[in-house]
């Protein structure tokens, strides 16, 4: 017998449960299908566990630097990985439990455990249950992807399996020098592992400006992390002590001997086992669902939100997708994903936060622009905290006086950058921030100063 719902949501990631709540409040019946754990990537194997572990790594780092602050600690600082993992697991479980109880409180929402597969544009099968929905929403996320060929049989870690480690790697080789690779690299170095990052591009985080790449690399090198960039033709093979990573680099030894290897080479959407053809949903060459700016797919009954639509790979972009779909369908809104300003942070220490255009993009656009830049060593609060590595950089359109983009690699930068982001969303000129009185002593208080000292972009 076919079960009928007003809406079917496939995937209980960031967007799914929130959309279920809004539809439920609007009186609609909803089937929410999840094949693994509610909360998806962010809660279970992404943001929440990693940021909990980053916090443990920071505590270890600060303890080692105690002398810098006049704090004497007797004995060596040692990280108990089991305790770190237990703390992380507690935070993750509490978050997932909260989510489950929220979903349970939705009167007209049925949570169904299992793998969903389309049978038609309005029907989905989960095991032996056939569900029909007037509207179907995809929130299926993505999973780790390896771009390293021929490593079958070599025990390589992913961002998911590394979260279950019980023993500290003696030497962790990280393939991929971007978000996932760098967050784990610094974390495990601070836990006590030797760490080598292997990146095929000439520089790490290559989508960022050169100054951000080189400064973050220098910060990490100062902590003892080794880098092998320009690394081509990477091959993995097992050896008695762990894994050998062969790298064809311009400099350095041709092999990295490691006890463990983490593959952090990108993620691919979970769209290959949904039978999307039966729904008339189109994908691009990488498997991302093609959507318009309102997140409608090629099928008039199907929408796609979150990582699977390729319009963002962050929790906040998935959440924003939910808001766009819900407001447009339920409140007659006209919200568009095209209005979103790029914004993200890499949670290294110090964090690297970025909004809008990079300096490279501004130069390529040919717009007359102004730039302001200040090292964190000239930010009072950073100096007082003893965390003065990095810089703040803001780019402004010389004609409209609107902020084009900003990068803050520095303590508190992940928070401070939001006053510039709000100014961009409010479509005001930068004078709004330049004339606002900020609280002393904060990192944010230097943003007006930078904006008052802008110079033409040479
Ligand atoms: C290690 C790591 C750290 C990260 N850190 C951050 C961070 O600090 N900040 C940030 O903004 N982003 C971070 N991200 C990215 C962030 O986690 C994702 O962008 C976000 O979780 C995407 O959410 P989503 O809603 O698209 O889907 P997901 O959260 O991935 O959820 C999709 C769900 O769909 C389910 N599913 C898939 N296919 C089916 C099917 N056929 N049937 C039923 N269920 C199905 C899956 O089991 C999953 O639960 C991180 C990612 C990783 C891997
Ligand atoms: N703080 C955050 O918000 C956060 C944290 C973690 C992950 N994420 C999300 O997860 C996504 C995936 O992260 P990611 O770091 O895995 O992917 P990514 O696509 O950002 O980076 C992959 C890196 O691996 C390199 N690479 C690819 N193949 C390689 C090879 N064979 N040899 C050497 N280097 C190789 C690439 O050049 C690139 O630098 C990110 O785009 C991000 O949106 C976000």
Tell me how many degrees the CA angle 27-32-36 measures, rounded to the nearest 5.
Answer: 160
- For 279-351, where are the E strands, in sequence order? 302-304, 343-346
Catalytic site includes residue 440? yes
Is 271's C-beta closer than 6 angstroms to any atom of ligand 1?
Answer: no
CB atoms within 10 A of CB 345: 19
Could you give the 3-state DSSP secondary structure of residue 59? helix
pTM attached to this predicted model? 0.98
Q: Annotated catalytic residue: which of 151, 260, 294, 440?
A: 440
Pocket of ligand 2, candidates 52, 148, 162, 178: which has the most ligand atoms within 8 Å of its Cβ, to mutate? 178
**Tens of pLDDT along the chain (458 residues)?**
899 999 999 999 999 999 999 999 999 999 999 999 999 999 999 999 999 999 999 999 999 999 999 999 999 999 999 999 999 999 999 999 999 999 999 999 999 999 999 999 999 999 999 999 999 999 999 999 999 987 888 899 999 999 999 999 999 999 999 999 999 999 999 999 999 999 999 999 999 999 999 999 999 999 999 999 999 878 899 988 899 988 876 677 889 999 999 999 999 999 999 999 999 999 999 999 999 999 999 999 999 999 999 999 999 999 999 999 999 999 999 999 999 999 999 999 999 999 999 999 999 999 999 999 999 999 999 999 999 999 999 999 999 999 999 999 999 999 999 999 999 999 999 999 999 999 999 999 999 999 999 999 98
Neighbours of 251 (CB within 10 A): 7
The alpha carbons of the chain give a radius of gyration, in whole angstroms, of 24
Secondary-structure percent of the chain, ordered helix, strand, coil, rounded to 5: 35, 25, 40
Which of 49, 180, 263 to mutate to test ligand 2, by most ligand atoms within 8 A of the CB atom?
Answer: 180
pLDDT in the model for residue 333: 97
In this structure, which long-range contacts are made by residues 426-435, counting pairs with CB atoms below 8 Å and at least 24 apart in sequence? 427/402, 428/402, 429/400, 429/401, 429/402, 430/394, 430/396, 430/401, 430/402, 430/403, 431/401, 433/403
How far is C-alpha 433 from the geometric centre of its chain's CA atoms? 27
Per DSSP, the three-state class of 371 is: strand
How many angstroms separate the CA atoms of 228 and 205, rounded? 13
Q: Cβ of 364: how many Cβ atoms within 10 Å? A: 10
- Work out the burial of residue 209: count CB atoms within 10 Å of its CB; fewer than 13 is exposed, 13-18 middle, 19 or more buried: buried
Cα of 111 vs centre of ligand 2, distance in Å, is: 32
Q: How far apart are CA 348 and CA 51, in angstroms?
A: 10
Q: How far is the CA of 443 from the centre of ligand 2 (A)?
A: 28
- State both tokens at 244: 């050998």
Q: Whose CA is nearest to atom 21 of ligand 1?
A: 42
The reply, when asked if residue 215 is annotated as ligand binding, is no
Q: Is 34 in the pocket of ligand 1 (CB under 6 A)?
A: yes
What pLDDT score does 303 carry?
Answer: 99
Does 182 show up as a binding residue in the annotation?
yes
Is residue 103 within 8 Å of residue 111, measured between CB atoms? yes
455 among annotated binding-site residues: no
Whole-number pLDDT of residue 434: 98
Long-range Cβ pairs for the range 274-283 (8 Å, 24+): 274/10, 274/116, 274/117, 274/118, 274/138, 274/140, 275/117, 275/118, 275/119, 276/118, 277/118, 278/118, 278/119, 278/120, 278/121, 279/118, 279/120, 279/121, 279/136, 280/121, 281/118, 281/138
Taken in order of first residue, the domains within the chain and their CATH numbers are 2-143+268-339 (3.50.50.60), 151-265 (3.50.50.60), 343-456 (3.30.390.30)
Ligand 2, residues at Cβ distance < 6 Å: 147-148, 175-181, 183, 198-201, 206, 231, 234, 264-267, 313-314, 344-347
Q: Do residues 189 and 61 make contact, with C-beta atoms less than 8 angstroms apart?
A: no
Other beta carbons within 10 angstroms of residue 359's beta carbon come to 22
Residue 248's pLDDT is what?
77
Which long-range CB contacts under 8 A does 331-335 form with residues at least 24 apart? Answer: 335/294
pLDDT of residue 443: 98
Q: Say how many Å lie between the first and final Cα of the chain, rounded.
A: 69
Rounded Cα distance between 298 and 315, Å, is 24
Query: Residue whose CA is closest, atom 9 of ligand 2?
Result: 313
The owner of tokens 């998935």 is 318
Residue in 454, 439, 435, 347 with CA at minimum distance from that of residue 392? 454
Ligand nearest to the Cα of 230, by number: 2
Evaluate whether 196 touches 227 at the Cβ level (below 8 Å). Answer: yes
């Amino acid at each position: 017998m076919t079960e009928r719902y007003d809406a079917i949501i496939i995937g209980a990631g960031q967007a799914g449960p929130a959309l279920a709540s809004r539809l439920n409040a609007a009186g609609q019946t909803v089937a929410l299908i999840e094949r693994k754990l509610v909360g998806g990537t962010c809660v279970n194997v992404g943001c929440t566990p990693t940021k909990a572990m980053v916090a443990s790594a920071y505590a270890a780092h600060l303890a080692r630097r105690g002398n810098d602050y006049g704090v004497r600690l007797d004995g060596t600082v040692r990280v108990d990985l089991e305790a770190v993992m237990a703390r992380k697991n507690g935070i993750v479980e509490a978050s997932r439990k909260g989510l489950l109880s929220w979903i349970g409180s939705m009167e007209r929402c049925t949570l169904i455990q299992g793998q969903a597969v389309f049978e038609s544009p309005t029907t989905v099968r989960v095991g032996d249950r056939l569900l029909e929905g007037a509207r179907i929403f995809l929130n299926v996320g993505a999973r780790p992807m390896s771009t390293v060929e021929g490593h079958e049989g070599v025990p390589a870690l992913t961002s998911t399996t590394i979260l279950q480690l019980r023993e500290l790697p003696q030497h962790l080789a990280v393939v991929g020098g971007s978000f996932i690779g760098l967050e784990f690299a610094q974390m495990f170095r601070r836990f006590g592992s030797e760490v080598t990052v292997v990146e095929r591009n000439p520089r790490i985080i290559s989508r960022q400006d050169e100054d951000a790449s080189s400064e973050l690399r220098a910060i990490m090198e100062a902590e003892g992390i080794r880098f092998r960039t320009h690394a081509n033709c990477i091959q993995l093979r097992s050896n008695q002590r762990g894994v050998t990573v062969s790298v064809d680099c311009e400099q350095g030894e041709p092999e990295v001997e490691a006890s463990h290897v983490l593959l952090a080479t990108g993620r691919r959407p979970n769209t290959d086992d949904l039978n999307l053809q039966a729904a008339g949903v189109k994908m691009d060459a990488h498997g991302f669902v093609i959507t318009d700016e309102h997140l409608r797919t090629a099928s008039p009954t199907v929408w796609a939100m979150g990582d699977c639509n390729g319009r963002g790979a962050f929790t906040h972009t998935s959440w924003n997708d939910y808001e766009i779909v819900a407001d447009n369908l339920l409140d007659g809104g006209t919200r568009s994903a095209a209005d979103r300003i790029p914004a993200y942070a890499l949670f290294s220490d110090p964090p690297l936060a970025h909004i809008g255009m990079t300096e490279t993009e501004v130069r390529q656009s040919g717009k007359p622009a102004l730039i302001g830049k200040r090292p964190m060593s000239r930010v009072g609060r950073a100096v007082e905290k003893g965390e003065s590595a990095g810089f703040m950089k803001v780019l402004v359109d010389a004609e409209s006086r609107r902020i084009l983009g900003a990068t803050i690699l520095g303590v508190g930068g992940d928070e401070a950058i939001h006053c510039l982001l709000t100014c961009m969303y409010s479509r005001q000129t930068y004078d709004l921030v330049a004339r606002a009185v900020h609280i002393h002593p904060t990192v944010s208080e230097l943003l007006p100063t930078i904006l008052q000292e802008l110079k033409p972009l040479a």
